Chains A and B, each alone.
Chain A
């Protein structure tokens, strides 16, 4: 179980002004600015949960992850992860966690991936049987058999990310931190990575904490989201609930032949292109079938699609709502 209570963290950042004169002045005296990176951050995550940790750049996501990994010490507050304090009991704590930083590699650049894996086995003192079992599982699930003998430098980004995730799971951690695991990946790799994370979570009950800017990751993986902005936890809840709440309005997209159809008083226009119109309406005031009927009475309908708002739009709306 992960429990954070009232975590605060302030950074002191040197102010820099432009110009040579100020650069000389800065040599002798510096002005500092205090930035409150985290303010009273509290949450609890149970074993086996999968949580999406979202927020705009600079909101405090990485700082929180670093504190939970034991890389950073907070100014105040308590943190208990499976009975250890990450920054006081580092050695005990890190055995239980796996960390993937999407933009950094933990593999040796110039040697085959399997050599890096073997070294990790010895670093964590992983029992040989467990290691073999985990490795075989990763090879099967992440399709690694072809690439294990390839040096990291020759891997594509997607292949490398699959290896990075495997490397973080060789020691069977109870908690997996994923910091932007799908950044820069192509569609196929993204789907493979998501599928794998889901499987690991389901089969091994590994707790997964995921930060990402890709809302499809969140939609595909997590039921619970934590929204952070300006160092505060703004929202902690279920994704489906949030979507329901904010997606009261439906979007109807119609491809048609004929003149531009007119809308009734319950509809508002989203977009009008050549032969395609998108409208939005509240299904309580106007049912979906009536909306389609209203348009099909005026024009020849070629294709219809109805959707609620996407997670992407919902998050954008949340950022807007909280002004972050």
Chain B
């Protein structure tokens, strides 16, 4: 399965390298766009030197985690993002007549490396924020940061899967999902707690974006010392269970209506 994934990976790269100019323009465009996001945070701190008690470098760490998680999702779970198209052109029917898992094929068939622009921007921000944040990078802290990024990508992928599951039923009005995906990414520039208690609760218990971002950040900057905070990102993985259930319901609907 891993070997096959690497095959898919190679064929995706080969496909996209057919249009090198378009690829690099796309990449460059994404870097510039995400630069605007980072600059926004920067300008905010020119006026206020703390936001809810977080310093600029702490917030930048948060920005980079969210950006990196989101860009991993954009690159590797792209198939769910364009899912209505796969249903429309019959590509999804092709997956159903092949002896491989359907989710696996959606993920493997569509990778979009142009979206690595945001990833590169996130790396740049990390390069600045990691040494300047004043955090002593012991192994537990490094593990925490790693879990934040990986689990973040999982939560965003879950949101993409929910979007795809809805598109089994309708293609109208799906834009509301953007509030959670793009909205989640944009608001995720800052620790989710600054938007108030209600929103933090929502982002903890319903759509667990705060579990990979805000709570482990508290551990990183030593506002919380309990090692349980290292594991909060892992809790967010439970979100994938309802996502999978949604997907199954959508798939069953599709197989009974074919549209």
Residues of A that sit less than 8 Å from B by CB: 11-12, 63, 66, 69-73, 75, 87, 90-91, 94-95, 97, 99, 101, 104, 106, 108-111, 115-116, 118-119, 122-124, 151
Decide if B99 touches A94 in the complex (CB within 8 Å).
yes
B105-125 vs A, Cβ < 8 Å mask (1 yes, 0 no): 000000000000000000000
| Bound CA span A163–B98, Å | 17
Chain B interface main SS type = helix
Decide if A115 touches B97 in the complex (CB within 8 Å).
no
Decide if B7 touches A91 in the complex (CB within 8 Å).
no
Residues of the A chain whose Cβ atoms lie less than 8 Å from the Cβ of B93: 66, 69, 71, 101, 104
Decide if A104 touches B94 in the complex (CB within 8 Å).
yes
A117 CB to nearest chain B CB (Å): 11
Residues of the B chain whose Cβ atoms lie less than 8 Å from the Cβ of A72: 255-256, 258
Known contacts A70-B96, A71-B96, A94-B98, A11 near B257 by CB under 8 Å: yes
Known contacts A72-B258, A73-B255, A87-B255, A124 near B99 by CB under 8 Å: yes
Known contacts A69-B96, A73-B255, A94-B99, A122 near B15 by CB under 8 Å: no
Residues of B that sit less than 8 Å from A by CB: 3-4, 7-8, 11, 14-16, 18-19, 89-91, 93-94, 96-100, 252, 255-259
Residues of the B chain whose Cβ atoms lie less than 8 Å from the Cβ of A109: 15
Residues of the A chain whose Cβ atoms lie less than 8 Å from the Cβ of B259: 11
Decide if A106 touches B15 in the complex (CB within 8 Å).
no
Residues of the B chain whose Cβ atoms lie less than 8 Å from the Cβ of A95: 99
Residues of the B chain whose Cβ atoms lie less than 8 Å from the Cβ of A106: 94
Decide if B97 touches A69 in the complex (CB within 8 Å).
yes
Chain A interface main SS type = mixed
Decide if B97 touches A99 in the complex (CB within 8 Å).
yes
The list of the 5 closest CB pairs from A to B, nearest first, reads: A110-B15, A110-B18, A104-B90, A73-B255, A71-B96
B113 CB to nearest chain A CB (Å): 13
Known contacts A69-B97, A123-B99; can you find 12 more A-B pairs with CB under 8 A? A91-B99, A94-B97, A97-B97, A99-B94, A101-B93, A104-B94, A108-B15, A109-B15, A110-B16, A110-B19, A124-B99, A151-B18
| Bound CA span A90–B251, Å | 13
| Bound CA span A215–B187, Å | 61
Residues of the B chain whose Cβ atoms lie less than 8 Å from the Cβ of A101: 90, 93-94
Known contacts A87-B255, A111-B14, A119 near B97 by CB under 8 Å: no
| Bound CA span A108–B10, Å | 12
Decide if A115 touches B255 in the complex (CB within 8 Å).
no
Known contacts A12-B257, A122-B3, A122-B4, A70 near B97 by CB under 8 Å: yes
Q: Give the contacting residue for B89; candidates A73, A94, A104, A151; CB below 8 A.
A: A104
Known contacts A94-B99, A124-B99, A119 near B11 by CB under 8 Å: yes
Residues of the A chain whose Cβ atoms lie less than 8 Å from the Cβ of B18: 110-111, 151
Residues of the B chain whose Cβ atoms lie less than 8 Å from the Cβ of A73: 252, 255-256
Interface centre among B90, B96, B97, B98 (most CB of A within 10 A): B97
Decide if B7 touches A119 in the complex (CB within 8 Å).
yes
Q: Give the contacting residue for A115; candidates B11, B96, B98; CB below 8 A.
A: B11
A79 CB to nearest chain B CB (Å): 13
Instruction: Closest B residue to A121 by CB, please name it.
Output: B7
Decide if A63 touches B14 in the complex (CB within 8 Å).
no
| Bound CA span A75–B257, Å | 10
Instruction: Closest A residue to B5 by CB, please name it.
Output: A122
Instruction: Closest A residue to B172 by CB, please name it.
Output: A27
Residues of the A chain whose Cβ atoms lie less than 8 Å from the Cβ of B16: 110
Residues of the A chain whose Cβ atoms lie less than 8 Å from the Cβ of B3: 122
Instruction: Closest A residue to B13 by CB, please name it.
Output: A111
